[in-house]
Amino acid sequence: MIQTMRWTIFLLGVMIFSLGISTAIRVQYLGVHPWDVLNVGLYEKVGFSIGTWNIIISVLLIIISWILDKSYIRIGTFFNAILVGLFVDFYLWTDILPVTTHTWTDIFIMISGIIIMGVGGGIYNAAGVGSGPRDGFMLSISDKLHAPIGRIRIITESTVLVLGLLLGGPVFFFTFIFTFIQSPIFQYTYKRCKYKIDHIETRLLQKQSRNLGA
């Protein structure tokens, strides 16, 4: 029961997170997250879909993390790597998202996408079934080098951003403020969801204990 609840929340979070990525990509000329700059750049230069590149890069990061520190790799990490890419392609393929208008409404769409990503990321991480490939990668690097995770995140995302820019990925204003908007929303959602999940789990365990003692 508890694991079913956690996996359901994880799946819901991944779906919401992917929706946020796809929404932001719709108005990518305003700038997207560094990792998506790389994904879009590879898509435009090499081919395949944006979601496919998301999966390929995620798998590569999992392999590196596995070599450095297996503790951050769990079954949810593998599901995250595959599902996010699949859902991103699904949302973009179904053409259900707002389209670029090159008016002020595009800014609203972009901010909505960033908020949705923050909420979705907080939800799936709160489920506790495994870190995302990127988070696991940066945490394993941080542990290996004994360096602050904040510094590793800045270095990693800056490197990814430069690579994406060289490939022609969409870099603009929102690329540089993405994290400042997303991170607080992620943190708030994560804390609230984790509290709720832990509370429900405690109640379920107490109920099971009473039933066994009856």
Q: Could you list the mean pLDDT of each consecutive 10-residue stretch along the chain, which spans 214 residues?
A: 86 95 94 93 92 95 88 88 95 89 94 94 88 84 82 86 93 88 88 89 78 63
Say what the pLDDT of residue 183 is.
Answer: 83
* DSSP state letter for 99: P
Q: List CB contacts of 201: < 8 A, sequence separation 6 or more.
A: 2, 5
Say what the pLDDT of residue 109 is.
Answer: 95
Side-chain-facing half-sphere of 159: CA atoms under 13 Å: 7
Burial class from Cβ neighbours inside 10 Å (0-12, 13-18, 19+) for residue 57 reads: buried
- The Cα 164–Cα 42 span in angstroms is 8
Say what the pLDDT of residue 174 is.
Answer: 92
Do 95 and 84 form a contact (C-beta atoms < 8 A)?
A: no
CA distance to 4, 12, 197, per residue, from 203 (Å): 15, 22, 10
Q: Read off the amino acid at residue 115.
A: I
Say what the pLDDT of residue 8 is.
Answer: 93
Q: Is the pTM of this model over 0.85?
A: yes
> Among candidates 131, 162, 161, which has minimal Cα distance to 149?
131
> Among candidates 24, 76, 88, which has minimal Cα distance to 52?
88
Return the ∠ at Cα 122 (arms to 117 and 126), rounded to 5°. Answer: 150
Two tokens at 137?
């990668």
Say what the pLDDT of residue 69 is.
Answer: 80
* DSSP state letter for 100: P
Please give the sequence-ordered ranges of beta strands (E in DSSP) within 8-158, or none if there are none.
none
- Cβ burial 24-44 (10 Å sphere, 16+ → b, else e): bbbbbebbbbbbbbbbbbbbe
- Quick one: which H or E segment has residue 79? helix 75-94
